[in-house]
């Protein structure tokens, strides 16, 4: 565990941001765990359960394609900073002008904010250890979901984007959008669902639904009328942009085209000076 942060350079380090949700399986048996007597009690303790999963000494990020090393660098309150690495081959050039190949273990930072009103994960963006942040997202889901299912939860981790990306898309195709498809996760974050115009929470309470899709489709040969001041679509877009989407979140069909288009390509990102993440050994 790092004790201090070391000022070492002025290089900027980029991160992509994702939002996670912990959704209880309401079909749990009342006596499944001695500690909980109802799904409501279990849901109230979801972030403590998540904490226990990721801080367990046996917890690992697992991938079917590579062996991943994990180290908890620093933890304070609801914040966790992990370093993850995997083995790669690196070519080196020797003094006698010959070449050699050695094992190399490039690493990245994964930061987790487990505050019940936040629930975000930031993944350092670099192509050295892994192809991209999406690769890391996939094995985080696989690793956490496997463990947290033992506690009657499902784990979802979805990208955050600027909702203006969607409105840029609408302005790019004026009077051409024939269909919009919205995919959601049942909300358990009040701050991202406050403007949501569909009562997904009630649907979840009534049915144990974890995911939902909503399709808007114009009459054949016609188009949808989508305006930025429309409360219904704005609520849907805001919820998905803040991390409540599932799969691709929002997709669209355009008049005269057969393909389905993703309406938001730009992931929410930020950069920090790497002197703030250089840790003493």
Instruction: Note whether 18 and 160 are within 8 A (CB).
Output: yes
Distances (CA, A) of 124 to 5, 112, 154, 268: 17, 12, 24, 12
- Identify the weakest region by mean pLDDT among 17-21, 45-49, 90-94, 187-191: 187-191
**Global pTM?**
0.81
- Which residue, among 137, 81, 142, has the nearest Cα to 109 in the 3D structure? 81
Mean pLDDT across the chain:
82
Instruction: Note whether 158 and 141 are within 8 A (CB).
Output: no
State whether residue 192 is helix, strand or coil.
helix
pLDDT exceeds cutoff 50 at 3? no
Please give the radius of gyration of the chain, using alpha carbons only, rounded to the nearest integer: 22
* pLDDT tens digits along 50-61: 999 999 988 888
Instruction: Note whether 195 and 269 are within 8 A (CB).
Output: no
Sign of CA dihedral 35, 80, 158, 84: negative
Pairing type for strands 79-86 and 68-76 reads antiparallel
Question: Helices 133-148 and 46-55 meet at what angle, rounded to 10?
Answer: 110
Q: Give the residue extent of every domain in the chain.
A: 12-160+268-276, 164-262
Whole-number pLDDT of residue 281: 37
Sign of CA dihedral 182, 183, 185, 189: negative
* pLDDT tens digits along 142-192: 999 989 988 888 999 998 888 899 999 999 999 999 999 999 888 767 677
User: How many CB atoms sit inside 10 A of residue 167's CB?
Assistant: 17
* pLDDT tens digits along 194-220: 767 777 778 888 888 888 889 999 999
């Amino acid at each position: 565990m790092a004790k201090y942060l070391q000022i070492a350079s002025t290089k900027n380090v980029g991160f992509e941001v994702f939002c996670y949700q912990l959704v209880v399986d309401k079909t749990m048996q009342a006596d499944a765990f001695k500690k909980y007597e109802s799904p409501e009690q279990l849901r109230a303790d979801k972030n403590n359960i998540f904490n226990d999963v990721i801080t367990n000494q046996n917890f690992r990020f697992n991938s079917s394609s590579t062996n991943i090393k994990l180290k908890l660098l620093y933890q304070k309150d609801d914040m966790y900073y992990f370093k993850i690495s995997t083995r790669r081959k690196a070519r080196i050039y020797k003094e006698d002008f010959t070449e050699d190949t050695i094992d190399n273990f490039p690493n990245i930072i994964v930061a987790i904010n487990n505050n019940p009103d936040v629930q975000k994960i930031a993944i350092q963006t670099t192509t050295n250890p892994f192809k991209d942040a999406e690769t890391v997202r996939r094995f985080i889901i696989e690793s956490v979901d496997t463990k947290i299912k033992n506690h009657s939860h499902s784990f979802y981790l979805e990208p955050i984007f600027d909702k203006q990306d969607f409105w840029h898309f609408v302005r790019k195709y004026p009077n051409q959008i024939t269909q919009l498809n919205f995919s959601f996760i049942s909300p358990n974050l009040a701050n991202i669902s406050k403007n949501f115009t569909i009562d997904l929470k009630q649907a979840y309470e009534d049915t144990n639904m974890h995911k939902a899709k909503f399709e808007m489709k114009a009459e054949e040969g016609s188009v949808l009328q989508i305006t930025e001041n429309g409360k219904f679509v704005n609520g849907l877009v805001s919820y998905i942009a803040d991390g409540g989407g599932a799969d691709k979140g929002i997709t669209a069909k355009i008049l005269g085209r057969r393909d389905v288009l993703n309406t938001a390509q730009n992931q929410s990102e930020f950069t920090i000076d790497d002197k703030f993440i250089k840790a003493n050994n």
